[in-house]
Structure 1
């Protein structure tokens, strides 16, 4: 092949490559500029406006929030619920840092944590509205239970998104306020392995001293003196779900030995 033909061939290759790159950049730019279409302030409003709306991913923009974001809505007979935690297996690890818990992680249609900043935006109230939180639990024997709290909200980032809950109802027991006295998690900030806001300095359990509940319990949570509710620890499969310090624990539901649930879901509804 002559030098002139070789030069022509390489010029064609370079030109084609340049065209492909320009197409890719154009597609990416268009994708970045595509705005999210807001469907409501939260899942409750979406369900109210569209009673036949089905469960799935929606785009919401709570009052006072500059950028909309996506959530999974559980559309039930009693209204639309915004899911902010889902655990069904070990695919998503919940032993994450403060930054991850603040922004959120996982797949909205599967196991995920929505993000403390987003939950704060959803629950900061205003115009006489408040939020109800519901915790759904599934065990390995086919049983289910729930715990529901009125007046649920989180504190500001400066307050480490401290937990605030009102009256309890349900059949799982009030594990947030504790299986026994002195471990009420209400009013405590969120803790992770890299940001400790619990009430232990240290906590003494028999002959064991615990400085950070996030290390022994696993994952991030509103720990007090560790407490009896903690749903973000390691997920344990059937046959290996009893007796672990870390797990999906709701101690007022299962016990006396520590029992890690098969699945959990946390969600909120505005009222």
Structure 2
């Protein structure tokens, strides 16, 4: 009983009064000091738990599927539901991209949170763990349900649906810049036409500048089956006017292209790295059944595969470090 009384005294009596009532016995002082440390640690754990709970509630894709909370508690907190998917990973995220996630955990394709070094807070991405593994998908078009004729702010921060594998979205230029800030990045573009034929284009040494330079695109050597549309194709005259290498990003409300008589983004119904104007435009208007007509060639265009007047059925753009090798070798894709 004496020990319990001492503990209650420490917990509820102000610190100054407690010090005056402490005996001068050294062993008793050590016990009190240890108890204070225990209390301090419990308070720290409580504060951390409160922070974790708030983070889980704010990040509803974690909250809804957390193993920490019962089904009854999830029902009581149904106001936290959102369109975001469930996601794997620790509350504190250290993975810089999808290749780091794969190397650490050998997970399947899906939505995960990553945090490149230049970004303050983690953000949600779709990781393609097939085709060599470790790809971070920055753009996807599949059905035309998401409008891509958007403002500069929308393209900067990202838009679209992040729930299912084939949802359409643009990750956001700030996030794309953070993924492609350093040297040695690969970008792979996967294309599908309306007869379900596929083609791909791979570019080495891809970089996207920051907003001060209007997210300027730079890239190196091409390989693939779709043709080098980002460089403008084989004709030198066409390359001068439609190559996207070195071009800044443009939207309908911020024109940074080289076309002096208009705004390429406004004419072509989507933000992109336009020249005067394009040989590739994967953020254009979504036309069904391929061939189309109009005042402008504003569909989902990859000129070197199907020309300017054929709008593709689907596209995805994904990036990763060129030096990425998983623990077992070079992965199972087309790249070594």
Q: TM-score range by the shorter chain?
A: 0.7 to 0.9
Count of matched residue positions in the alignment of Structure 1 and Structure 2: 231
2: distance between equivalents of 1:115 and 1:98?
10
1: distance between equivalents of 2:220 and 2:187?
10
2: distance between equivalents of 1:61 and 1:162?
22
Give unpaired runs (5+ residues) of structure 1.
1-26, 203-210
Mapped pair 1:40 → 2:95: yes
List aligned pairs for 1:116-265, cutoff 5 A: 116-125=173-182, 130-179=184-233, 180-182=238-240, 183-202=242-261, 211-238=262-289, 241-244=291-294, 245-255=297-307, 258-265=309-316
**Equivalent of 1:97, from 142, 151, 155?**
151
TM-score (norm 1): 0.80
Higher relative contact order (CA 8 A, sep 6+): 1
1: distance between equivalents of 2:275 and 2:131?
35
List aligned pairs for 1:74-113, cutoff 5 A: 74-108=128-162, 109=164, 110-113=167-170
1: distance between equivalents of 2:177 and 2:91?
21
Distance 1:29 1:139, change over 3 A: closer
Look at both structures and tell me which one has the larger radius of gyration over its CA atoms. 2
Match of 1:78, SS? Answer: coil
Distance 1:37 1:221, change over 3 A: same
TM-score (norm 2): 0.65
More strand by share: 1
Give unpaired runs (5+ residues) of structure 2.
1-52, 64-89, 323-336
Match of 2:138, SS? Answer: strand
2: distance between equivalents of 1:218 and 1:175?
19
1:63-101 per-residue CA deviation (whole Å, 9 max, x = no partner) reads: 132111110001024121000100001210000000000
Q: Residue in 2 aligned with 1:18? A: none
1:195-228 per-residue CA deviation (whole Å, 9 max, x = no partner) reads: 00100102xxxxxxxx111122110000011121
Displacement of 1:39 in angstroms is 5.7
1: distance between equivalents of 2:113 and 2:202?
25
Displacement of 1:237 in angstroms is 1.2
